[in-house]
Amino acid sequence: MTTDAASGCAGTILIIDDDEVLSDLLKRMVERAGFEAMSVRSSEEALEIYHNRSAEISLVITDLMLGGGSGRGLVQELLRVDPSARILVTTGFYDERDLADLLECGAKGVILKPFNSERLLEKIRAVLAN
């Protein structure tokens, strides 16, 4: 586990996105900030890892639209495994009802695409601080 020097936040971040390029970019962004990161391409992979390693994962970042499943469904499944899971959802589709629904079902934050590394790290720190 590593510490983000700017905020004192420690932890491993699990990134779930079926877009390989975006997943790799997110992983590099959080690693540059001092976090350890794991990335997977599907809900199934994410759930398997989270079942086995939830104690070391301080934050999950998932895309809302995943091939083979929805980000909303994944949020619910992760919260069944660990009701205190910190989950940040990324999405390029903006619908206020859907975003409110994500927060109501347990996501700790939503970040709209496109975003830069500063905005992502700001959201990560906010979610980890709460």
What does the pLDDT look like over 65-112, one tens digit per residue? 887 677 789 999 999 999 999 999 999 887 888 889 899 999 999 999
Find the CATH number of the domain harbouring 95.
3.40.50.2300
DSSP 8-state code for residue 8: T
* pTM over cut 0.75: yes
Domain range for 37: 3-129
What does the pLDDT look like over 22-71, one tens digit per residue? 999 999 999 999 999 999 999 999 999 999 999 999 999 999 988 767 77
Question: 63 and 19 in contact (C-beta within 8 Å)?
Answer: yes
How many distinct structural domains can be found in the chain? 1
